[in-house]
A and B are shown apart, each in its own frame.
Chain A
Amino acid sequence: MSTTELESPVTANMKKVCPLTEIPRLGARVVKTAAHGNIAVFRNADDEVFALEDKCPHKGGPLSQGIVYGKRVACPLHNWNIELADGCALAPDQGCAKSFAVQVQEGMVFIDI
């Protein structure tokens, strides 16, 4: 899921991650969570933010370490291309990484976990 600045207030189960500026443009940060393991939080060139399980559906590569372009990331292990919006691999590859809802409020990034 993605979003830029949303109007709606941050809902209760949203967890604070970090200020948007601490995620590099066209890059990602890794968030450790108890419930879902590592989650990769990406920021693209338009400051859209996306959160995916940090595990490529192919062989579990850490997507957070891949090259981010447009609204996709290329897995660093075998170059599968993953859609940031839904975590799914680009055809003909098949499989999806779990995706999480994201909100940015006043420059702070929140994820729904």
Chain B
Amino acid sequence: MKKMKLVMVGNGMAGVRALEELLKISPDLYDITVFGAEPHANYNRILLSPVLAGEMTIKEIMLNDVDWYEANGIRLHLNKKVVKIDRVKREVQAEDGTVEPYDRLLLATGSNPFILPVPGKDLPGVISYRDIADTDAMIAAAQTHKHAIVIGGGLLGLEAANGLKLRGMDVTVVHIMPWLMERQLDRVAAGMLQKSLEDKGLKFALERQTAELAAGPDGRVAAIKFKDGSELPADLVVMAVGIRPNTALAESAGIYVNRGIVVNDTMQTYDPKIYAVGECVAHRGIAYGLVAPLFEMAKVCANHLAHMGIGLYKGSVTSTKLKVTGVDLFSAGNFTGGPDTEEITLNDPMGGVYKKLVLQDNKIIGGVMYGDTADGAWYFQLLKDKQDVHEIRDHLMFGQNHLGNVGHQGQNKAAAMADTAEVCGCNGVAKGVIVKAIKEKGLFSLEDVRKHTKASSSCGSCTGLVEQILASTVGGAYQAADTKTKPMCGCTDHTHEEARATIREHKLLTHEAVYKFLEWRTPNGCASCRPAINYYMLSTWPHEAVDDPQSRYINERAHANIQKDGTYSVVPRMWGGVTTAHELRKIADVVDKYKIPTVKVTGGQRIDLLGVKKEDLPGVWKDLDMPSGHAYGKSLRTVKTCVGSEWCRFGTQDSTRMGIELEHDLFGMWSPHKVKLAVSGCPRNCAEAGIKDVGVIGVDSGWEIYVAGNGGIKTEVAQFLVKVGTHEEVLEYSGAFLQLYREQARYLDRTIHWVSRVGMDYVKKHVVEDAENRKALYARLKFAVKDYADPWRERAEGRVAKQDFEMLSA
């Protein structure tokens, strides 16, 4: 079949990103041709400022070199400006006469700098700041001239001014407004910014309107004259007063333009054969100038070009970060507020820190930060997720204190870390390595950094730090993932919640049914979505859905924990941590018989036999003749107990018995992630119930139940749920809480992750206040674990999965 022809006009970041996305999902659909007006292949325009400042080179900011186009079979016309689109013949024509026919046309013409219409705007020495040529011109001017004027006190203007100053020029920033970056900063933050830039040697002329640029005797610009009659010397004038979508080509072809090229939510223009992405576009009346939204557009556009027909672009909330080394500044959303908004402010002028958050209906709608922007990414995430923050409002201002937790020496400010400092303690990745990968490989998202460096890809405790490093390296291009609408994985555009709701509503009981119904892009999912779907089906339709062992992680498939050398570990269940001489003798005999190299007591009060060969597992289980401890599962792990009132002179309740009852009650419960419990017999809490998913603490008059604690990556203290009187009530409330978690959390959420999303008020409402609902939840849990067969016994007797443990030979 003859391929369709796709022609792209414009060779910048948004357009090329769209091509990359397209090649990823549908590499063979199109013959692709690209026209670029510049002589360069695709480079990272955002990093022109570091190039101007002498911190990077042009080579370092190339995203796709000429070889990339060739490797992907793309015909590249550099230095050719397209001047005409013939929509009837479906072809485009370049200035030099090159003609290319198209079946689909992608306009990515970007934007043009706005040039003030003042006398002298065309003089030599007056330039804009947009591309490599402008940057080269500034670098050259800095070597031969002294006085630079930057018109425009916005993001681009300040970055240009900073670069020129670093190159030795005397720089004055001219701005018409009363304070700098008025579209991103309030007056206080702008004042602090101005002061720190003045300390770096920049000068400012605010509330000054340019009247004229005057030439010197050599014909080059020599002075700038203002409307108030004053003037300043100027050998170089950089106009950075804004950008305008470059729509001339589209307009000349009769495509509807209003501010930008008007597109719908699929990035289609009024001509259905013509798509447009990037700064040239007006989407729902907004033209974006930051790169993050452009990438979202690119993704949606590629999806439709590939005939997938899913994915809509619905607009973006953007955040800004100034890339001036040594100045830390962040702003997002609506930071000025309005009649129905509240503000929380922290202002420490001497310490150089200013933070303001704007709230509406208990949600963050905007914020400005100066001096300490470590939590910018977190606030932005809360903003995008529209998270209700009233429960954390009293400490919101102090940030997400877990950014630096374990594995990186308690550091929580990426900017303050040395290049050699270890960010990811799991994979041993230093800050410098991450920064280098971001710059050299052109990474923009957390996912990209994880793939390329492995940082934050294991336990995730350094995610906050990695996000900070991303944000400070790529500036406004960084966009936190939108966790609420984030697809499960690359196989689908559906979220976890959507998949689960569909499984429930349409009673889907097999993987095939789910992938078909939800139109998965892959025939049988991937290692990320399949275990999740398996869990959602099992937890929604217990006893009816088909449990697919091939969709479980190896530990749950083998009912043992795989170790680094491919052997397994075996943890028999000891209810409540209580054992007997008989059990211990059996364990000792098994260790001898199978020559098990290591025997270790676990953190959950059980005994771990490490280094068992897979083919020995059924024999080990048979000889042990003890139930599975599920130390390998996203399931009930252990209920840790103290000895309690039976022996302890301080004990107020029989915690051991309570623990054993809980463990029996929950045996066979699969869950989104592992679940750990503890029961202490008095508030001395020797069983450490304060860091468990469910922690029960005996008091003289009954039991206190705490939930959503965690002793792992980030220590989370469990939160009080309810106080009850009897053992039966402990079982019912604990079970109901866990069932709610089982039904609503995303796969691989621990209880704390889910509770911090929905809030404790929500949990209490459903589990404590609504007795009927609690009983129904508990009944559903009991139904799910009913008749659960011990998986070890089934396998020890050879009734199930026999071949799993047998080796073949050839």
The residue from A31, A38, A79, A111 contacting B527, defined by CB atoms under 8 A apart = A79
Q: In the docked arrangement, what's the CA distance between A41 and B564, Å? A: 21
Question: Cβ of A104 < 8 Å from any Cβ of B?
Answer: no
A17, A46, A66, A74: most-surrounded residue (chain B CB, <10 A): A74
Given A61-B566, A65-B566, answer yes or no on A17-B530 (Cβ-Cβ < 8 Å): no
Residues of A within 8 A of B550 (CB): 24-27, 67-68
A65 touches B554 (CB 8 A): yes
Q: In the docked arrangement, what's the CA distance between A32 and B808, Å? A: 6
Residues of A within 8 A of B810 (CB): 15-17, 31-33, 39, 111, 113
Interface positions of A from 16 to 64, Cβ below 8 Å from B: 16-18, 22, 24-27, 29-33, 38-39, 41, 45-46, 59-62
Residues of A within 8 A of B530 (CB): 67, 69
A22 touches B803 (CB 8 A): yes
Q: In the docked arrangement, what's the CA distance between A12 and B102, Å? A: 54
A70 touches B522 (CB 8 A): yes
Question: Cβ of B531 < 8 Å from any Cβ of A?
Answer: yes
Q: In the docked arrangement, what's the CA distance between A66 and B565, Å? A: 14
Residues of A within 8 A of B219 (CB): none
Q: In the docked arrangement, what's the CA distance between A76 and B554, Å? A: 6
Given A15-B810, A67-B527, A69-B524, answer yes or no on A92-B452 (Cβ-Cβ < 8 Å): yes
The residue from B451, B527, B562 contacting A69, defined by CB atoms under 8 A apart = B527
A74 touches B527 (CB 8 A): yes
**In this complex, what residue of B is CB-closest to A74?**
B527
Given A67-B527, A70-B523, answer yes or no on A31-B551 (Cβ-Cβ < 8 Å): no
B808 touches A30 (CB 8 A): yes
B553 touches A67 (CB 8 A): yes
**In this complex, what residue of B is CB-closest to A56?**
B566
Q: In the docked arrangement, what's the CA distance between A95 and B808, Å? A: 26
B808 touches A31 (CB 8 A): yes
Given A15-B810, A67-B531, answer yes or no on A92-B551 (Cβ-Cβ < 8 Å): no
Question: Cβ of A103 < 8 Å from any Cβ of B?
Answer: no
B523 touches A45 (CB 8 A): yes
B527 touches A66 (CB 8 A): yes
Q: In the docked arrangement, what's the CA distance between A3 and B35, Å? A: 43
Given A76-B562, A77-B562, A92-B451, answer yes or no on A69-B526 (Cβ-Cβ < 8 Å): yes
B808 touches A17 (CB 8 A): yes
Q: In the docked arrangement, what's the CA distance between A52 and B524, Å? A: 21
Question: Cβ of A81 < 8 Å from any Cβ of B?
Answer: yes
Residues of B within 8 A of A22 (CB): 803
CB distance from A100 to the nearest CB of B (A): 10
CB distance from A79 to the nearest CB of B (A): 6
B531 touches A62 (CB 8 A): no
Residues of B within 8 A of A39 (CB): 810
Question: Cβ of B525 < 8 Å from any Cβ of A?
Answer: yes
**In this complex, what residue of A is CB-closest to B566?**
A62
18 A-B pairs with CB atoms under 8 Å apart are: A15-B810, A25-B550, A26-B524, A26-B550, A31-B807, A31-B808, A32-B807, A32-B808, A32-B809, A33-B810, A45-B523, A66-B554, A67-B550, A72-B526, A76-B553, A76-B554, A78-B458, A92-B451
Interface size of B in residues (CB-CB distance below 8 Å) = 27
B527, B554, B562, B808: most-surrounded residue (chain A CB, <10 A): B808
**In this complex, what residue of A is CB-closest to B809?**
A32
CB distance from A35 to the nearest CB of B (A): 10
Q: Mark B787-810, 1 if CB is under 8 A from A, else 0.
A: 000000000000000010001111
Question: Cβ of B558 < 8 Å from any Cβ of A?
Answer: yes
CB distance from B526 to the nearest CB of A (A): 5
CB distance from B410 to the nearest CB of A (A): 26
Interface size of A in residues (CB-CB distance below 8 Å) = 39
Q: In the docked arrangement, what's the CA distance between A29 and B557, Å? A: 14
CB distance from B426 to the nearest CB of A (A): 10
**In this complex, what residue of B is CB-closest to A18?**
B808
A29 touches B524 (CB 8 A): no
Q: In the docked arrangement, what's the CA distance between A96 and B451, Å? A: 17
**In this complex, what residue of B is CB-closest to A61?**
B566
Residues of B within 8 A of A111 (CB): 810
Residues of B within 8 A of A46 (CB): 523
CB distance from B425 to the nearest CB of A (A): 15
The residue from A27, A29, A62, A68 contacting B808, defined by CB atoms under 8 A apart = A29
CB distance from B612 to the nearest CB of A (A): 14
CB distance from B569 to the nearest CB of A (A): 14
A24, A33, A38, A67: most-surrounded residue (chain B CB, <10 A): A67
CB distance from B578 to the nearest CB of A (A): 33
Residues of B within 8 A of A60 (CB): 565-566
Residues of B within 8 A of A17 (CB): 808, 810
Residues of B within 8 A of A24 (CB): 549-550, 803
The residue from B458, B549, B809 contacting A33, defined by CB atoms under 8 A apart = B809
CB distance from A8 to the nearest CB of B (A): 20
Residues of A within 8 A of B525 (CB): 69
Q: In the docked arrangement, what's the CA distance between A39 and B682, Å? A: 55
B526 touches A70 (CB 8 A): yes
CB distance from A31 to the nearest CB of B (A): 5
Residues of B within 8 A of A61 (CB): 566
Residues of A within 8 A of B522 (CB): 69-70
Interface positions of B from 537 to 595, Cβ below 8 Å from A: 549-551, 553-554, 557-558, 562, 564-566
A81 touches B527 (CB 8 A): yes
B809 touches A31 (CB 8 A): yes
B566, B807, B809: most-surrounded residue (chain A CB, <10 A): B566
Residues of B within 8 A of A62 (CB): 562, 566
Residues of A within 8 A of B807 (CB): 29-32, 38
Q: In the docked arrangement, what's the CA distance between A76 and B564, Å? A: 10
The residue from B451, B564, B809 contacting A77, defined by CB atoms under 8 A apart = B564
Q: In the docked arrangement, what's the CA distance between A16 and B553, Å? A: 29
CB distance from A64 to the nearest CB of B (A): 9
CB distance from A18 to the nearest CB of B (A): 5
Interface positions of B from 404 to 453, Cβ below 8 Å from A: 451-452
CB distance from B467 to the nearest CB of A (A): 20
Q: In the docked arrangement, what's the CA distance between A53 and B526, Å? A: 21
Q: In the docked arrangement, what's the CA distance between A46 and B525, Å? A: 14
CB distance from B723 to the nearest CB of A (A): 43
Given contacts A38-B807, A41-B808, A66-B554, 8 further A-B contacts (CB under 8 A): A24-B803, A27-B549, A32-B807, A65-B554, A69-B527, A69-B530, A92-B451, A113-B810
Residues of B within 8 A of A113 (CB): 810
- List the 4 closest pairs (A to B, CB-CB), nearest first: A74-B527, A15-B810, A67-B527, A76-B554
Residues of A within 8 A of B566 (CB): 60-62, 65
CB distance from B283 to the nearest CB of A (A): 32
Q: Mark B511-543, 1 if CB is under 8 A from A, else 0.
A: 000000000001111110011000000000000
CB distance from A82 to the nearest CB of B (A): 11
Interface positions of A from 77 to 113, Cβ below 8 Å from B: 77-79, 81, 92, 111, 113
Q: In the docked arrangement, what's the CA distance between A25 and B530, Å? A: 14
Q: In the docked arrangement, what's the CA distance between A45 and B524, Å? A: 8
A65 touches B562 (CB 8 A): yes
